[in-house]
Every structure is written in C-alpha cells, then in structure tokens.
Amino acid sequence: MTKYTFSRPMTTTKRKLVAILPKQTEETTLTIKMTEADKLSLLFSNEFPFNKEGLEEFVNTFVIKSFKKGEIILENGTIENELRFLDQGIIREFYATNDKEKNINFYTNSGFITDFSSFTHSTATRKHQECLTDVDLRVLSKEKFLTFTNQYQCGKLFIETIFQRIVVNKEREEFSHFVNTAEELYLDIMKTKPDWLLQIPQYHIASYLGITPETLSRIRKKCNFLISINGIYFSIEQLCTFNRKYRK
C-alpha cells in the first residue's frame, strides 16, 4: 500500500524525482479488480446481516458498467435508481447553474457514489457527477436491491447506516468550510487526502476550495511541503507537474 508522509522542505539536491511508478500489467489490473470486489463483499459482510450464500449472490448480482473520461454519469433533475459502487477511476461531484459550477467532492477510492437521498425518496438529485478518468462501476438496480434487502431483512439497516454517515460527513465538511480559510482547507487536503493533489486537476481543487486557480497557486507556493511516497520525497510542485505530464 502506498504510504504518504509529510515533512518540511529539504534542499533540492537532497531529493530528486528518481522513479516513475511502474506501468500496470494485465496481472496487476486483475489483482486490483479482485481487491475492489472483495471490498464490496467486505462492506456488507462486516455491517449487514447476509449469510455467506446470500452475500455471494448479492455481490454477484452487481453488473459492471464502464464510462469514458468526461462522461456525465449523474445529472441534476434526474432520479437516482441504481446503487453504484466505484471500482476504479476518479469522479468529481458538483453543483451547477447556467453560469458556474462548484465542486463538492471527489471520489478517488472504492466506495458508494450513489445519491442516497434521491435513491431512497425517489426525488430528483441536485448533483452532477463527471468522470475525470475512465471509470468502472458496479451497479445494482433499485428493484433488485429492494428484493435482496427485503429477503435478508437488512435494507432498513443499510439505508439508516449510510444516511448517518452522509449526515456526519456533510456536517463536518460544511463546518470546516465555514471556520477555515482556503489555506487551512488546502493543508487539510494535504494531510487527509493527498491523493487528490496527485490525481485531481488544480482548477478543480480551486473550485472545491471556492477560490481562483491563481489564488490556489499562491497558496501552494506558500505551503511548500514535501510528500514522501514509499520513501521518495517529492515537492507539491513536482507531483503536480508529474501528474499533468503523465495524464496526457
């Protein structure tokens, strides 16, 4: 597992960009897919009362859907009618009007990306979701989900648990954006979500922080930390340059 640590700047001669992450082979890609499938199984086996046979049947009922970079997979005004689990890829979630957008979240790790409020109450979502990379999802229709959860009597528990987490996370995010400056929010991203800085374009990060890309650039220069990835130190600028180069 990749480990991230933070330290103050060293001299440029001490640490250099000395390695490029190895390309994924077919074998490593298969391993990733198996790992992500296990995460889906693990989520339900740990928290919801399926028996082994029921869990296997439930997880295998999910179908894989693939989307290309730039595709919109959820739009304001539509009703969420699928349970969607991110297998691999990166998704941004945002609000939009005719003249502006505001990023509210990025999904970079495996987990559910469903708008559960829309899914549960059959109301129109206010969110948009866009693929920032090619994306693989595991998808289950609401009809099949309700059939399984009624059969195993865990549907109510599942929804209540997910909603509780959503409410707690939403309250935490809103309070953080209210009391912290953009610089403090950026430092928090560095500490808690460093993968965002490696994988999300800077103008999207700026939108999430509610500032211009120019202001974000000044903040980045001021917060000149180094990140250690598997023992190799990189500056934030090196990582962003590296990311832009190899995303093309």
What CA–CA distance (Å, rounded) separates 197 from 98? 28
Q: What's the pLDDT at 35?
A: 44
- Identify which of 22, 181, 203, 11 has the alpha carbon closest to the alpha carbon of residue 106: 203
Q: In sequence order, what DSSP letters do the residues of 169-223 get, joined into one string?
A: HHHHHHHHHHHS-HHHHHHHHHHH-HHHHHHS-HHHHHHHHTS-HHHHHHHHHHS
Q: Does position 14 have pLDDT exceeding 60, yes or no? A: no
What CA–CA distance (Å, rounded) separates 72 from 93? 10
Q: What's the pLDDT at 202?
A: 94
Contact of 205 with 189, CB cutoff 8 Å:
yes
Q: What's the pLDDT at 167?
A: 67
**H helices within the chain, ranges in order?**
26-47, 52-61, 116-121, 142-152, 155-179, 182-192, 194-199, 202-209, 213-222, 236-247
**Kind of pairing between the strands at 232-235 and 226-229:** antiparallel
pLDDT tens-digit series, residues 70-127: 999 999 999 999 999 998 999 999 999 988 999 999 999 888 899 988 998 899 999 9
pLDDT tens-digit series, residues 50-61: 566 667 777 888
- The torsion angles phi and psi of 237, rounded to 5 degrees, stand at -65, -40
Q: What's the pLDDT at 200?
A: 95
**Kind of pairing between the strands at 82-88 and 232-235:** unpaired
Provide the whole-model pTM: 0.71
pLDDT tens-digit series, residues 136-182: 999 999 999 888 777 766 666 676 777 677 667 776 777 777 778 89
Stretch (H or E) spanning 101: strand 101-107
Max alpha carbon distance in the chain (Å)? 63
pLDDT tens-digit series, residues 172-219: 777 777 778 898 899 889 888 989 998 999 999 999 999 999 999 998
- State the amino acid at position 137 in one-letter form: L
Q: What Rg, from alpha-carbon coordinates, does the chain have?
A: 20
Q: Does position 247 have pLDDT exceeding 60, yes or no? A: no
CA angle centred on 69, ends 35 and 141, rounded to 5°: 60
What CA–CA distance (Å, rounded) separates 170 from 60? 31
What CA–CA distance (Å, rounded) separates 14 from 12? 6
